[in-house]
Amino acid sequence: MMGSLGLLHTPALGSLPLSSSKVTHFPTRNKQHLAIQIPIGVTSGSQKFLGHQTFLFAPRISIYRRVQDSSTISALVTDDSSTMTSAEEDTDNIGILGSDPGLEQYKDHFKYRVRKYAEQKALFEKYERGLEEFAQGYLKFGFNREEDGIMYREWAPAAQEAQLIGDFNGWNGANHNMERNQFGVWSIKVPDSGENPAIPHNSRVKFRFKHGDGVWVDRIPAWIKYATVDPASFGAPYDGVYWDPPSSERYQFKYPRPPKPKAPRIYEAHVGMSSSEPRINSYREFADDILPRIRANNYNTVQLMAVMEHSYYASFGYHVTSFFAVSSRSGTPEDLKYLIDKAHSLGLRVLMDVVHSHASNNVTDGLNGFDVGQNSQESYFHTGDRGYHKLWDSRLFNYANWEVLRFLLSNLRWWLEEFKFDGFRFDGVTSMLYHHHGVNMAFTGNYDEYFSEATDADAVLYLMLANSLIHNILPDATVIAEDVSGMPGLGWPVFEGGIGFDYRLAMAIPDKWIDYLKNKIDIDWSMKEISWGLTNRRYTEKCISYAESHDQAIVGDKTIAFLLMDKEMYSGMSCLTDASPTIDRGIALHKMIHFITMALGGEGYLNFMGNEFGHPEWIDFPREGNGWSYEKCRRQWDLVELEHLRYKFMNAFDRAMNLLDDKFLFLASTKQIVSSTDEEDKVIVFERGDLIFVFNFHPENAYDGYKVGCDLPGKYRVALDSDALEFGGHGRVGHEADHFTSPEGIPGVPETNFNNRPNSFKVLSPPRTCVVYYRVEEKEEESNAIDLVGAIKTLTADAGGAQQKIFKVSAYVEDKDIGTNPSNV
């Protein structure tokens, strides 16, 4: 339900009054339709997927501009209401409709979306001096230092009376009563006492208010920047903490943000469980000990989970209680800034896992504590069933509320500007997009599933505003949507009618791998199905592929390594004995599954912390059922550092995969051609950029002189070989051999070519092996190229003052600049 925003005079602070109407009028193709949400189209379309054989990515707009640069939308964004009346004519040429003819029948949906977005922007311009100014609510709400005291404001329209309490007044608010304006904003200014601040830094504070039942309750301020709990008191509620360190203690950033990579290679990490010891790790320890590992494996982006404060540790950070506060388990706000600055110094961008899809159901220490039975226009959340997620046991935001928009949009700007994050991964986007939240919904790709009364128009508008804001503040930001539905336009720019994300997580891929590993024997794996599953995405919208994430590592599930090798990981990983068939198969398929997912599954790649080396066991957070143990809530880094264990082979291959992309930029290439999916041979051949990938999934068959098609003629050499000895393989592929192409058929007539490719060359393809070939340029022949093929070399690199062993891994690429400098490893 998207309520109508009233056009009443509104001060800079306070809620813009909303219409009390329970329904909104939406246009349909042929008539006016009274509906709760966006209407369904008259006829249905089907999801436009890529073919699984041969295709090229079409170029798409990837550079964000400010909305006012777009003729379609900027004409609507004015403070003159007369312009709004011409919205129908001004939205006839919406850019996204030209990308897919199947969307044309849903033109009314997109016109409505664009018009409401423009109207909302105009309201921000009229009442708040624009979207970006509106998203600086943290400068007005919460605690803010003024020249002679501290100003505190809180939006709580359901409160009858309110007080500020804390250590500074002995938790007695009698002398600190707050005043309410007509929009439900309570405020108080606490004057300084001489040279002493009114509220000492790092002291506890709370908001006390009386609601309609005459009951007084204490709550953590909604905009609090830090919250802590007494570690010695079991089950104690959190306290808000006034955080305003003196300049001598305030962290000063030293390093600029790294440039945006052509393709993100993301390392998903959880700071708390990153220690090798059974305890909670700190931001500074993560920065000093873990970031160098990530950089050594050639990732260019870190995605941090569980940053926002959450009282329940086992929620993985997804039940947020304080949205502007860093998780105090791992340190202070200044400690987190140190981590991000350290990442930037290593050339790593940092994304934050942001949770705006729901909030913790906690009352005493969560935002839900401000809900005391009032209507949804005076609350952060919807009332009734619409305000509660039954599966998650959490509250759902009312995205049509003016102050909710201020709170969430300001939250994004806060993390970008105060902590220098480089972007976000939005959690639970599917739940936001639809009233059914994706529960018990099997998306088939039919367009009616995306553009119907089930679509939450308020949430769509919020996400458009959020992405516009993020890219206006930080044009090079990376913003990723965790969406399983595949809604068309999710990854299309806002100024062309899309929702504005840079990437969508390809969430169906890990499910397919789990299904194969659990339910199919190797010989029954379908090459066409694997290829189809990896390439089944909208070619105009980018995806982040991953074989597994934190979801597959949680207690009760199994990682790919554990599915492949199970209990033998405890006894069969020693290099001092021959590998068992289970271990040999497990390591081989672990490498192949992750690599083909990276190479064929998207325009970026993600790996969860520890999966790069096949970390054994699942993650089990401390809970009553395990005796509150941290034993399985950590990462056993020593496994990959011990020379006699085989974990090092999977880690080495992970490093080489990333280095290959660093060298050849195949993830960013719009050229992706699958030329062969042979079910009998169990071989997949494809091109990404100008690299040729050959994956042989057959458990037994080796093919000598196996013909593979390619685009460009010339000489090809091995670029990466999963069967190399340094990756735990058998060393069956020669790396010194030159592979010369032969022309196939009539030039320019694909049907006469080999697998529709104009050239071919022959290779050796051992079972359960993937080999990548690159074309040798003439200039490389004349240069003194350094061949990186060779045994793993152990180097000692200085990791921010701490000595850490880094195993230098060959990627089999020829580059005289790589291999001589440890920083390139």
782 is an active site residue = no
For residue 518, give every residue at least 6 positions away whose Cβ sits within 8 Å of its Cβ, in sequence order, or none: 563
Q: How far apart are CA 614 and CA 582, in angstroms?
A: 14
97: left (phi over 0), alpha (psi -120 to 50) or beta: alpha
CB 38 within 8 A of CB 112: yes
Q: Identify residue 815 by its one-letter amino acid code.
A: D
Closest of 453, 452, 454, 427 to residue 438, by C-alpha? 454
CB 376 within 8 A of CB 387: yes
Place of tokens 């930029």: 665
Exposure string of 440-472, with b = 16+ CB inside 10 Å and e = fewer, is eeebebebbbbbbebbbbbbbbbbbbbbbbbbb
| Burial label, 19 (beta-carbon count in 10 A; 0-12, 13-18, 19+) | middle
DSSP string, 437-472: TTTT----SBGGGTSSTTB-HHHHHHHHHHHHHHHH
CB 664 within 8 A of CB 735: no
CA-based end-to-end distance of the chain:
52
Q: How far apart are CA 716 and CA 733, in angstroms?
A: 14
Q: How far apart are CA 276 and CA 253, in angstroms?
A: 28
- Of the residues 427, 662, 721, 726, only one is catalytic, namely 427
For residue 504, give every residue at least 6 positions away whose Cβ sits within 8 Å of its Cβ, in sequence order, or none: 480, 481, 483, 486, 490, 491, 541, 542, 543, 544
Q: How far apart are CA 304 and CA 349, in angstroms?
A: 11
| Burial label, 276 (beta-carbon count in 10 A; 0-12, 13-18, 19+) | middle
678 is an active site residue = no
Q: How far apart are CA 328 and CA 348, in angstroms?
A: 23
Both structure tokens of 509: 């891929």
Closest of 172, 192, 351 to residue 261, by C-alpha? 351
Both structure tokens of 454: 């089930």
Q: How far apart are CA 251 and CA 249, in angstroms?
A: 6
- Of the residues 108, 482, 603, 661, only one is catalytic, namely 482
For residue 24, give every residue at least 6 positions away whose Cβ sits within 8 Å of its Cβ, in sequence order, or none: 1, 2, 3, 4, 35, 36, 457
Residues annotated as catalytic are 427, 482
